[in-house]
Amino acid sequence: MSKSVKQVRHLKIVLLGDEGVGKTSIALRYTSDFFQENYKPTVGAAFHSKSSNYNGTVYNIKIWDTAGQERFKSLSSMYYKDCDIAILVYDITSKSTFKSIGHWERELRKNGPQDVQIAIVGNKIDLPQRSVKTKRVQMLAENKSCHFFETSAKEGTGIKHLFKKMCKKVPNQT
């Protein structure tokens, strides 16, 4: 362990949200700094991994990504098991994907650990056709004790900030 590393932590992050909101793009932007306009993963539930050093703590992060099962609005309970962070994603240009946030939050509360840290994320802020107002989501997030972020996986806006902030919210195991 190098001198500047004070601690190593292993975190499981799950991505939730409707198909097409940009879950895979967010994971790829964070782990590989990569974006593809027509990226269509064809193979089953993927992991994306990354190690990040935030102020001397190394976070070994495993991001669980869906592979189209979200279309059925239901994911296996394995997916939620022992996750430290859940990222609930909607598309700021699509009201229906925002309305689904409530559904994904209920699924998470039902299947996930009690102490999970939750982020609600409005993605695609590079697009001009916004149909979900920031203020509205801020209030919802506050009511639900969730953190709120806006991102563009396409341009990379807010992505590092999202993961760094959320990693730091996870309390140390006793």
Site for ligand GDP in 117-146 (CB under 6 A): 123-124, 126-127
In this complex, which beta carbon is closest to ligand GDP, that of residue 37 or of residue 115? 37
Q: Which long-range contacts (CB under 8 A, 24 or more apart) does 104-112 make?
A: 104/16, 104/17, 105/144, 105/146, 107/16, 107/74, 107/75, 107/80, 108/14, 108/16, 108/80, 111/75, 111/77, 111/79, 111/80, 111/81, 112/14, 112/80, 112/81, 112/83, 112/86
By CB under 6 A, tell whether 39 contacts ligand GDP.
yes
Smallest distance from Mg ion to CB 102, Å: 21
Nearer to Mg ion, 23 or 58 (CB): 23
> Contact 28/39 with Cβ under 8 angstroms?
yes
Give 67 or 78: the residue with its C-beta nearer to ligand GDP: 67
Which one, of 38, 19, 36, 20, lies nearest residue 28 by Cα?
36
At closest approach, how far in Å is the CB of 66 from ligand GDP? 7
What is the footprint of ligand GDP within residues 8-27 (CB under 6 A)? 17, 19-25
Residue number, 58 or 107, with CB nearest to Mg ion: 107
Q: How far is the CB of 129 from ligand GDP (least distance, A)?
A: 10
Which run of H or E residues covers position 152?
A: none
97 touching Mg ion, by CB under 5 A:
no
DSSP structural state of residue 114? T
Q: Which residues bind ligand GDP (CB under 6 A)?
A: 17, 19-25, 37-39, 123-124, 126-127, 152-154
Q: Which residues bind Mg ion (CB under 5 A)?
A: 23-24
